Amino acid sequence: MVRSSKILGAVSAFALGVALPLAPVWSAPVPSSATTAKPLYKNAAAPIESRVDDLLARMTLDEKIAQITTVWTDKIKIFDDRLQLDPAMLAAQYPNGLGHFTRPSDGKGSFSPRVAPGRNPRQTVVLVNGLQKWAMTQTRLGIPILFHEEGLHGYAAVGATSFPQSIAMASSFDTDMLREVNAVIAREIRARGVSLVLSPVVDIARDPRWGRIEETYGEDPYLVGEMGVAAVEGLQGVGRSRILPDGHVFATLKHLTGHGQPESGTNVGPAPISERELRENFFPPFEQVVKRTGIEAVMASYNEIDGVPSHANRWLLEDILREEWGFRGAVVSDYSAVDQLMSIHHIAANLDEAAIRALDAGVDADLPDGLSYAALGKLVREGKVSEAKIDLAVRRMLELKFRAGLFENPYADAAAAEKITNNPQARALALTAAQRSITMLKNDGMLPLKPEGTIAVIGPSAAVARLGGYYGQPPHTVSILDGIKAKVGAKAKIVFAQGVKITEDDDWWADSVTKSDPAENRKLIAQAVEAARHVDRIVLTLGDTEQSSREGWADNHLGDRPSLDLVGEQQELFDALKALGKPITVVLINGRPASTVTVSEQANAILEGWYLGEQGGNAVADVLFGDVNPGGKLPVTVPRSVGQLPIFYNYKPSAHRGYLFDTTDPLYPFGFGLSYTTFDLSAPRLSAAKIGIGGKTTVSVDVRNSGPRAGDEVVQLYIRDKISSVTRPVKELKGFQRITLKPGETRTVTFTVSPESLQMWNDQMQRVVEPGDFDIMTGNSSVALQTATLTVTP
């Protein structure tokens, strides 16, 4: 961010398929010759609280409402016939100022960047600066605009770097890497003049039918919490400071809560979750982020809990979030979720009532269009809402602007944004992140491949880089096919066949989804068989497209599925290629766990990639040919069939008694992943085998690389309370460390078991440590564990 006014000049016209808004066409007003005292709210040296007090006292009711509503679909109303910002139209449309602007990088007329390509860095900066100049110089009080964008695994915009999807980066079990990735995301967003990003997602994912599982860090509250903290530290900076540093953005913690285990696995469905379940599993990631970082924004979830939608749940947003955890920032709505109190949940008869319910519950801003909160001014005048409640919400939104420095510095530098976006450092990190996110699920010795002979690269995700939901538009992507070709060069012959199509389109943003024609797919399968008939080995991609697993945000935009089987004719493709008798490595590129039982039994090797970002093809090739040793671990339990749901590793003792004619064992357990080398882990050693309820002990594990090459291992710590006043899970993750060891190298990994590691919610719903014996378990997955006993005394 810069302070020079030189960046505000007009630029020449741009075109990205459609004309896009350019610089504003007005001039700044000529200052009055009269000397006036500078208002306190414009004094950067004054305390923020005092500045907010001063500004609030000067604002009209309608100016206040403008600060807690947002602009998105009405953007077109502020541009003239040449699609340039028009000051007269702005003044007419927003006479009381413009508080919050949604996604300035969007294209015109469509959510989909393929239909309406978005703004590149320069175009986005020109729009942001034009709007800020109008707000600062042409509105009565000169209040800057707050802009927000999507940045789940990369800035969802033209030219930005695309990193692996969240569930993939969770597979890295590497918080340092995730922090670094989010720091790059932050700087690419802030460089365009945007101060707020709607990420990360810290919902725990307990139902793989749910299409948004790809956006999460997995099923475990501890893992999700640690990843969430790292993501926020990357976006905002490390520490609890409430002042936003240069090159960073405010994170938005979402979605509070229960969103990750919806009824029937369908998005926005009710969360049939008790208070105990909330406190033990769904609350902890949010609580950890609130208490350990400077998080300033939280987004409520679409779903209801015990009959109360989150956007109307004062217990959740006030009693828990603010009073118990000490959150001091702003609560923003999910898109149209306030309106849905009327249209979906039917707890409000109209938008006026929806606005009253949400404001009473503690929702401070109505995203993305402010349709419900637009009525709040009228409701205050009618005596149905107190202006004091409006003031509280406005205060929180204004504080974001003051803490971001927007009153002093609302502008961005287009040249700097172009220079920093998708630069060599960002691209190198995208490759590293993809490499560290890949998990090897099976290997009978086929991998690593040798770059020789003839290799068939087949499958619906072989020749396209699948980026996953909320993807951006990186300038260059690498498919698996391209990565393999670049890796082997002339050393091996590569043949390609698509094999099948999964969906007719793969545009995540488009509403309609059509499965590909089975007859046409069987023709493609026949072609693939012929292409592979004389090769030496096969690399086969299977899984999803961005349409077959995604956020289902409307009745006409679905993304959840009742089955976990491979979509379409993918299993037929595998069966046909397997019949050739060739060695097959399967690379899974998917947004949700797949119940690939037959593939798991019959493939020679399997890599789980999820969605690996713009450098995914190079990363897969690096792992396939052994230049990178895979070290990822599964952040979710992979079920054998949808009939096992819900399935997660930290189940209660009475669960999983057994099934007739099948097993309760998952296809792959949480925390599982293989390597090209082997590791020997010792049993855990405790520095003290007996401690008091407020005491601590250190757990030590010796890890030796007993194999032929360097590699990574993730050492995991689990705890079980053996006898307790209420039922407790059979094990709970309480620590993990990813380490790199050379062949023959040994390292001792240590964990601290503290009261926080042992605490529970007792039968009085009090958080306590109960005396007794605890199993302290360590290993390299949730099922490969060794145990020591810790005794906790009163």
Torsion-angle region of 251 (φ positive above 0: left; ψ -120 to 50: alpha; else: beta):
beta
Say if residues 216 and 279 touch (Cβ distance below 8 Å): no
Q: How many CB atoms lie within 10 A of CB 123?
A: 23
Nearest to 145 by CA among 131, 157, 126: 131
Q: Which of 440, 423, 533 is nearest to 474 (CA)?
A: 423
Give dist(CA 769, CA 701) in Å, integer: 24
Measure the CA–CA gap between 470 and 509, rounded to whole angstroms: 8
- The residue behind tokens 């002093």 is 408
Task: Give start and end residues of each alpha helix (H) in 414-517.
Answer: 414-420, 424-437, 480-488
The answer for residues whose C-beta is within 8 angstroms of residue 349's C-beta and 6 or more apart is 342
SS3 category, 703: strand
Question: Looking up tokens 């097993």, which residue turns up?
Answer: 663
Burial class (CB in 10 A: 0-12, 13-18, 19+), 264: exposed
End-to-end CA distance of the chain: 55
Map 23-77 to HEC letters: CCCCCCCCCCCCCCCCCHHHCCCCCHHHHHHHHHHHCCHHHHHHHCCCECHHHHH
Closest CA to 39 of 58, 14, 62: 58
Q: How many angstroms separate the CA atoms of 14 and 110, rounded?
A: 18
Judge residue 220's burial from the number of C-beta atoms within 10 Å of its C-beta, 0-12 exposed, 13-18 middle, 19 or more buried: buried
C-alpha pair distances (Å), 164 with each of 108, 213, 768: 27, 14, 38
Catalytic residue status for 413: no
Give the single-character DSSP code of 164: P
Phi, psi of 488 (to 5 degrees): -90, -25
* Catalytic-role residue among 174, 220, 334, 413: 334
Torsional sign, CA 605, 609, 615, 619 = negative
Cβ atoms of 380 and 391 within 8 Å: the answer is: no
Q: How far apart are CA 325 and CA 212, in angstroms?
A: 26
The answer to whether 551 and 212 are in contact (CB under 8 A) is yes
3-class state of residue 648 by DSSP: coil
User: What 3-state DSSP class applies to 288?
Assistant: helix
500 Ramachandran zone, left/alpha/beta (phi>0; psi -120 to 50): beta
Give me the numbers of helices (H) and strands (E) for the chain, helices first please: 22, 25
Two tokens, residue 225: 């919490």
Planar angle of CA 328, 401, 179, nearest 5 degrees:
70
- Surface-to-core class of residue 292, CB atoms within 10 Å of its CB (0-12 exposed, 13-18 middle, 19+ buried): middle
The kind and range of the H/E element at 777 are: strand 772-779
d(CA 68, CA 46): 24
CA distances 599 to 449, 501, 566, 572, 577, Å, are 19, 18, 10, 11, 11
Q: At 125, which helix (H) or strand (E)?
A: helix 121-138
205 vs 262: CA distance, rounded Å: 10
Active-site residue numbers?
Answer: 334
